[in-house]
Structure 1
Amino acid sequence: MTDLLASVRDPGEARLALEEGCDIIDLKEPSAGALGAVPSVVMRRVVDLVAGRRPVSATIGDLADSTHIPDAVRKVAATGVDLVKIGLFPGMGEAGYVEALASLAGEGYRLVAVLFADHRTDLGLLPALAEAGLYGVMLDTCDKAAGTLLAHRNIGELGRFTGTAHRLGLYCGLAGSLRLEDIGDLLSLNPDYLGFRGALCEGGRITRLSRDALHRARRLIPEQNAKLSSGAGVTAHG
């Protein structure tokens, strides 16, 4: 079963996501970039609110230099979140990125590497991330104004990403300005979770979460999973 990840910016949104049955509460400040970080005090308040009922993930922010990753990861992890997400941003350098994450994974941190489809990240990086000891990997978009994940990678490419990640034992998610109508096609790829922000909001990703949109998303995933299981509706792509 594919889980629903909802990106929230504060305890009020986290409470709403919990009430509507979201599986993963993801902390992110949408006005601060693709993976904008919320303040540590907000992370702690959300961790206290969720109280272990759901996994809580958080981003470290949009960093341009991999040398800043270790301090940022330790700061976020100290708030008590379950997963820390780290983006491979343009110009960061893959070797330095993987080296920094490997060192942190060796210290016991549960890390999720976020790769960006709109920067044509080499998905051949997945074996190195698995060898580095990461918990998971996510394919997202960096420029939220440049189209959805499906505008940058076709279903076949996304299927190879999820399939490779699973073979390597990586927890695997898809995100990137996803629309609720994308759920059926993406579920056919068997990701561990689908991540949403803008589609769950009242008027775009920097506005407040909408209870109605959260409810629709929560309903659609099991409905579409049932169609896939019965062989009706959406079919898997090659």
Structure 2
Amino acid sequence: MLVSVRSVDEALVAARGGADFIDLKEPSDGALGGLPVATIGAIVSALRAHGIGLPVSATIGDLPMQALDGILAQVDAVGGCGVDYVKVGIERGPGAFVVLDALSACDWPVVPVFIADHGIDAALVAHACTLGFPALMADTADKLAGSLFDAVPTADLRAFVARVRASGRLVGLAGALRMAHLPLLQSLAPDFAGFRSAVCIADRKTALCPERLAALAASLHGEAVEPAAA
């Protein structure tokens, strides 16, 4: 259960509410909106000061594939904040192969996040699986257009999970996921699933809701989940 947060207070709420991974981003600035470097460092320091050792990831912001120098500079800046993983959005297109090669040579543990609004590029994923990334993810950019399951056929997601797992990497899924998607997630069995919309008071730009966090954590960590009614 990866929970995306934007502040120290939200990070502590998520950690105490059952999150297994803390993910740092600014939901008002897109799917992988980046927080200021100073904020990322403050959140990491606060979690560690409270004795919370959960793994922490942080996004670099939504940068196009042609901005390779900017991507690498931001990876260095975010990685230097003490996070465990640096998440970088990967858009479909020939330029993505060059970006993946460059990211694999970084000094920080980078997690490529494949933007899947128009499907998952199997060739791109296969290439990433040959590189030294600790994990790969699929996510969506347009959270108002539906969930990851609306954007990508379940068979393709199953193939994505299987390919990444066969390469020895961790695999994660995200993209406007809700409680109703838990049976599908449990069927696909990724190593982690990312949530923001499902654990907020209203939409993903509002504050985290401790009650929703607790309910989601309980469902993911043990209680059986019945398939949603058709």
- Do these two structures clear the TM 0.5 threshold for a shared fold by scoring above it? yes
1:30 aligned partner: 27
The whole-number CA distance in structure 2 between the counterparts of 1:141 and 1:170 is 20
The whole-number CA distance in structure 1 between the counterparts of 2:16 and 2:54 is 11
1:57 aligns to 2:54 (yes or no):
no
2:39 aligned partner: 42
Indicate the percent of aligned positions where both proteins have the same amino acid. 38
The verdict on how the C-alpha distance between 1:179 and 1:58 changes in structure 2, with shifts beyond 3 A counting, is: same
Task: List per-residue Cα deviations over 1:205-230 (Å, max 9, x = no partner).
Answer: 00000001101110111235x57xxx
SS at match of 1:87: strand
1:74 aligned partner: 76
Deviation at 1:124, TM superposition (A): 2.3
The whole-number CA distance in structure 1 between the counterparts of 2:4 and 2:114 is 17
1:99 aligned partner: 101
RMSD: 1.6
CA contact (8 A) 1:66 1:93 kept: no
SS at match of 1:206: coil
CA contact (8 A) 2:118 2:152 kept: no
1:163 aligned partner: 162
The verdict on how the C-alpha distance between 1:35 and 1:20 changes in structure 2, with shifts beyond 3 A counting, is: same
Task: List per-residue Cα deviations over 1:108-159 (Å, max 9, x = no partner).
Answer: x111100011132312222321222111110000111111001011222111
The verdict on how the C-alpha distance between 1:202 and 1:141 changes in structure 2, with shifts beyond 3 A counting, is: same
CA contact (8 A) 1:137 1:170 kept: yes
The whole-number CA distance in structure 2 between the counterparts of 1:90 and 1:171 is 21
Task: List per-residue Cα deviations over 1:7-46 (Å, max 9, x = no partner).
Answer: 0000000010011121000001001111001111111111
1:18 aligns to 2:15 (yes or no):
yes
Gaps of 5+ in 2: none
SS at match of 1:35: coil
Runs of 4+ displaced beyond 6 Å: none
Mapping of residues 74-153 of structure 1, within 5 Å: 74-89=76-91, 93-104=95-106, 107=107, 109-153=108-152
With structure 2 as the length reference, what TM-score do the two structures score?
A: 0.91
Aligned length: 222
SS at match of 1:118: coil
Gaps of 5+ in 1: 228-232
Deviation at 1:91, TM superposition (A): 6.1
The whole-number CA distance in structure 2 between the counterparts of 1:123 and 1:66 is 22
1:205 aligned partner: 204
